[in-house]
Homo-oligomer: A and B are copies of this chain.
Amino acid sequence: VGDDCAVLGGAGRGRFRLLKVDAVVEGVHFLPGTDPGLIGRKAVARPLSDIAAMGGVPSEALVTLGLPDDREVDDVKRLYAGLREMAASCGARVVGGETVRTPGPMFLSVALSGWVERGRVARRSGGRPGHLLYVTGTLGGSIAGRHLTFQPRLREARWLVGGHRIAAMMDLSDGLGADLPRLAAASGAGFEIDRPAIPVSPGRDVRGAICDGEDYELLFAVSPRTGRAVEAGWPLAFPGVRLTRIGRLVAPGEGERAFPEKGYDHFA
């Protein structure tokens, strides 16, 4: 508890089981009229991103669909097609699905299991003062479309945990401004951010990159030495994906504990 997935025993020697359940709700995580295939895609991509955040490998997905009476069978088929395709592209299999009636908005709950080698599991709590902070991709503006079409960073995460000691990692689902303080707190550290370094998505500003959320990028902390190795290897492994050092963890009493940009949000 406190990590992106539940980390469980019982997977045999040398492995943890990972388990995640997540739900998307019409009117909150997607709007009425959204392509059903993209709804199904997002519903499973979110927990896939959580498995990635632990450095894990996804295996099976189970789906519960809360369906209002007015939906077409064809919409449900397209929803499942999108869901299956996303799962399959990440090596996961949809092993069951169930529909419940709902008088309210449609919802879609996905339980996703996976596994990770015990020596590779990346939690939020392993960061230490002096560790460097990195993010993948660019941040902000996801609501314009990327929140429906993002690709969970499974390959990148497996590369990271496979060859490097990743001290702490999580995926950015609520935005850097909400999620980095969680990683820092779990690691018993403060943080310093180099704001001009934050990789901002086209059309957005730093404040959007901090506050928008739904980036589904990786945030991780590593020792300076590991950081050098990761920076050296990354461009060859993932030439199309940005990797940016955005700051570092500091002693608990120092640096920042929260983002003032998040505070401004409350009065916006």
Segment at the interface with B among A103-111, A159-167, A213-221: A103-111
Instruction: Count the copies.
Output: 2
Q: Does A98 contact B (CB under 8 A)?
A: yes
The closest CB in chain B to the CB of A63 belongs to B21
Give the distance to chain B from A28, nearest Cβ to Cβ, in Å: 5
A62-B21, A104-B104 given; A115·B28 CB < 8 A: no
Q: Are A95 and B19 in contact (CB under 8 A)?
A: yes
C-alpha gap A59/B19 in the complex (Å):
12
Q: Are B23 and A62 in contact (CB under 8 A)?
A: no
Considering only CB atoms and an 8 Å cut-off, how many residues of chain A contact the other chain? 40
Q: Are A111 and B21 in contact (CB under 8 A)?
A: yes
Q: Are A107 and B66 in contact (CB under 8 A)?
A: yes
Q: Are B28 and A98 in contact (CB under 8 A)?
A: no
Q: Mark A101-122, 1 if CB is under 8 A from B, else 0.
A: 1111101011101010000000
Q: Does A1 contact B (CB under 8 A)?
A: yes
A residues adjacent to B (C-beta < 8 A): 1, 5-6, 8, 10-12, 17, 19-29, 59-60, 62-64, 66, 95-96, 98, 100-105, 107, 109-111, 113, 115
